[in-house]
Chain A
Amino acid sequence: MSDQLSTEHLLGIQDLTPDDIDLIFRTADGFKEVLSRPIKKVPSLRDITVANLFFENSTRTRISFELAEKRLSADIINFSSSSSSVKKGETLIDTVNNILAMKVDMVVMRHPDPGAAVFLSRHVRARIVNAGDGTHEHPTQALLDAYSIREKLGRVRGVKVAIVGDILYSRVALSNIHCLHKLGAEVTLCGPPTLMPRHVASLGVRVEHDLDKALAWCDVANMLRIQLERQGGDGLANFPGLREYAMLYGLDLPRYRRLGRDIVIMHPGPINRGVEVTSEVADHANSIILDQVENGVAIRMAVLYLLAGRIPREN
């Protein structure tokens, strides 16, 4: 058991060891307690400045990070590409170095291009937290998903998790697979063949195209959002229609009841109600969708705290 992360940045789950993940979870336990206090703020990061760079829209991840930073007393600057010089042709390194020139210690970045976070970590002097890079990784989401499973079931090792839906365009799926495997869980991917990446079985997961079989197997169903904005030209190039998708891969109450047992329902949000899950399922007693959101702040606080602890002080 170590008290220090093995990495200076959080670029992806692939770089973390099981010990790192365990340390993040233990630290998040402490921050969950902080978040239940009347005054939900600690002074740990008061000499740290964090820049939130969102080159792609993401309201909830940005809010979650921002709240985590504020609860840690960090100074924050927010930057989004829609209102920036990126549109004027500035390169990523120039943009970031301009911000770092104002003495910023950490960068939280969402970017549409896979590998953007790794690229940045090699070229700038700041700690990078990947808040999603294209279809590659979204490590804090995977951590909060596994943390929520641990909280609900008491363990992650040996738990059977079905990741259902749009695997092809989802960065959540890849990070989740890595994270769950490192913690000893079993993973089955389930979705239409058109939304399943090729060679995905090489990651050591089972692939199932029949949702009922996947549900019968699993303890936890993580119902991924259909990435409507990424589905190509007319919006729906990979399946005939939302209604057909919902019938084959959506989870409604009758389908849930047919299982004859309880499974945990997860969704990374935002939900397309009636597509991936119906309202009755989303609001079901075994749905931990809102716990995921709550745990997201604690997990992000833990990641920022542990990474900031490795930044040397200038004296």
Chain B
Amino acid sequence: MHAATLLDSTAFGLTVQRLCYQLVEDHDDLSNTVLLGLQPRGVFLSRRLVRELGRILGGARIGSGELDITFHRDDFRRRPMPLAPNAMQMDLSIEGRHVVLIDDVLYTGRSIRAGLDALLSFGRPASVQLLVLIDRRFARELPIAADYVGRWVDSIEGQRVTVDCAETEGEDRVLLHGGDGGTARGIHHQASSTT
């Protein structure tokens, strides 16, 4: 099957760096901010951001965790088999803090809805934002939008976006599978396309 490369490892690295600087712009030294990666695939991006932010902020300790949404999904009993849960890592309080949810791909928005639900069983954060590496636009089934986006992708149904990470697949890259109808837009293109 044809697969187009949306981000190669260089672009992947640059995008992660840009996202970090955007976070620093909005959250200063992140001392009252918590980064939460969504299991299973958001956690690799989240760990990468935490590492990179630590470097940028001169070794500052970044509050972070990993959120499993399995029991909050809205497709229980609507899929052939129930999903087994992933590990949860929530060793910090989110009460009154600014939370940034992190996932690899934003598509229908349903995972994020479940993530918000799971998040609120840990307390009441001051605010919640969403950071994604890939935003598949025009595919939303819920009124959910990302605050920080690595790259926008216009894709059609039947296409699939996969995010590979050095930690798991041995290489950082983002691929678009199935057909050639999609186009990817970086931040500069996005600015022009919305005007």
> A residues engaging B (CB < 8 A)?
3-4, 23, 26-27, 29-31, 33-34, 37-44, 47, 305-306, 308-313
Contact = CB atoms under 8 A, between A and B. Distances in A.
Contacts of A33: 68, 85, 88
Interface stretch (B41-49, B71-79, B151-159): B71-79
A30 B76 contact: no
Contact of A309 (B77, B85, B87, B120): B77
Contacts, number: 65
Q: Which of B76, B88, B120, B122 has the most CB of A within 10 A?
A: B76
A3 B83 contact: yes
B122 A43 contact: no
B81 interface: yes
Q: Which of A26, A29, A41, A42 has the most CB of B within 10 A?
A: A42
A3 B76 contact: no
Contact of A306 (B82, B87, B117): B82
Contacts of B82: 3-4, 305-306, 308-310
Query: Interface of chain B, helix or strand or loop or mixed?
Result: loop
A33 B187 CA distance: 39
A141 B87 CA distance: 25
B80 to A, nearest CB: 8
Query: Interface of chain A, helix or strand or loop or mixed?
Result: loop
A38 B81 contact: no
Contacts of A313: 77-78
Interface string B101-124: 000000000000000010011110
A48 to B, nearest CB: 8
Contact of B121 (A26, A27, A31, A41): A41
B122 A38 contact: yes
A308 B86 CA distance: 19
22 contacts: A4-B82, A26-B84, A27-B84, A27-B85, A30-B68, A30-B70, A30-B84, A30-B88, A31-B71, A31-B85, A33-B85, A34-B121, A38-B121, A38-B123, A39-B120, A39-B121, A305-B71, A308-B76, A308-B77, A311-B77, A312-B77, A313-B78
Contacts of B80: 4
A27 B78 CA distance: 19
Contacts of B81: 3-4, 309-310
Interface string B58-99: 000000000010111000111011111111101000000000
Given A37-B121, A309-B76, A309-B77, A44 B71 contact: yes
Contacts of A311: 77
Given A309-B77, A310-B81, 13 more contacts: A27-B85, A29-B87, A30-B70, A30-B88, A33-B68, A33-B88, A34-B71, A40-B121, A41-B121, A42-B71, A42-B121, A309-B76, A313-B78
A10 B117 CA distance: 30
Nearest to B80: A4
Contacts of B84: 3, 23, 26-27, 30
A40 B82 CA distance: 20
Contact of A37 (B76, B85, B122): B122
Contacts of B123: 38
A214 B120 CA distance: 50
A313 B77 CA distance: 7
A31 B70 CA distance: 10
A305 B70 CA distance: 11
Given A23-B84, A309-B81, A44 B76 contact: yes
A315 to B, nearest CB: 9
Given A3-B83, A38-B122, A43 B77 contact: no
The 6 A-B residue pairs with the shortest CB-CB distance in the complex, in nearest-first order: A30-B85, A309-B82, A42-B71, A39-B121, A4-B81, A33-B88
